[in-house]
Amino acid sequence: MNRTVLGILASGRGSNLQAILDAILAERLKAKIGVVISDNPAAPALKRVKGFDIATAVVERQNYPDKHSFEQAVAAELNLHHAELVVLAGFMRILGSEFISRFSGRIMNIHPSLLPAFPGLDAQAQAIRYGVKVSGCTVHFVDEGMDTGPIILQEAVPVLDDDTEHSLAERILHVEHVLYPRAIGMYAEGRLQLSGRKVIITEKR
């Protein structure tokens, strides 16, 4: 069985990368990681795949004259390793329209809120400040807006009266680690169909 090749972009600790790797190793996810790319040479995410025969690449923004050439270099690494789905796992850069167009319908992200509520940075803090009773996480395809792409999966997490930004973030993260591999698995199985803004999930064959 052919496995969908993932190109994972990560800037930090890579906990969602770890969840994806664990799901692959446990045969819950029929995919393989072709390359892990980071804009941060010190990212712990890069260390998570050591010993697994998974390619890594560091593409630092400071080494390129502009955003366009930086993203060209990222795209070149993805193409070099035949990535079929680009997975953002804590990649702390906003991707430009040309990059998104090049991989249209093939870039996935996870966000720690129930979009369209609380897009952008510090979503958990936004939820606490607003006083919502329910938050959660959303897996979506990436478009040119800020966390505005078509929604694939969502799961709710209650917001407790004594929650802080950090306690809420930790509980949401546990759900992310289940939801993200599930969504990637649906893509790998050919079960996600885009119809305008709507993602239709078909039955498993």
Q: How far apart are CA 175 and CA 164, in angstroms?
A: 17
For residue 131, the model assigns a pLDDT of 97
Phi/psi at 19 (nearest 5 deg)?
Answer: -65, -40
User: 1 falls in which pLDDT band (50, 70, 90)?
Assistant: low
Pull the structure tokens for residue 196. 């305008």
Taking all residues of the chain, what is their mean pLDDT, rounded to a whole number?
A: 96
Q: How far apart are CA 106 and CA 150, in angstroms?
A: 12
Going by C-alpha positions, the residue among 77, 107, 105 that lies closest to residue 94 is 107
72-100 per-position pLDDT tens digit: 999 999 999 999 999 999 999 999 999 99
32-82 per-position pLDDT tens digit: 999 999 999 999 999 999 999 999 999 999 999 999 999 999 999 999 999
Comparing 1-10, 29-38, 109-118, which segment has the lowest mean pLDDT? 1-10
User: 110 falls in which pLDDT band (50, 70, 90)?
Assistant: very high
Burial label for 131, CB within 10 Å (0-12, 13-18, 19+), is: exposed
pTM: 0.95
CB 140 within 8 A of CB 154: no
Q: Is the dihedral of CA 19, 36, 104, 121 positive or negative?
A: positive
Q: Spell out the domains of the chain, with CATH numbers in brackets.
A: 1-103 (3.40.50.170), 110-205 (3.40.50.170)
For residue 205, the model assigns a pLDDT of 75
Q: How far apart are CA 98 and CA 72, in angstroms?
A: 9
Asked, as a colleague might, if the bond just before 112 is cis with ω within 30 of 0, I would say: no
What is the set of active-site residues?
Answer: 111
- Percent of the chain, pLDDT > 90? 97
Average pLDDT over residues 150-158: 98
For residue 2, the model assigns a pLDDT of 85
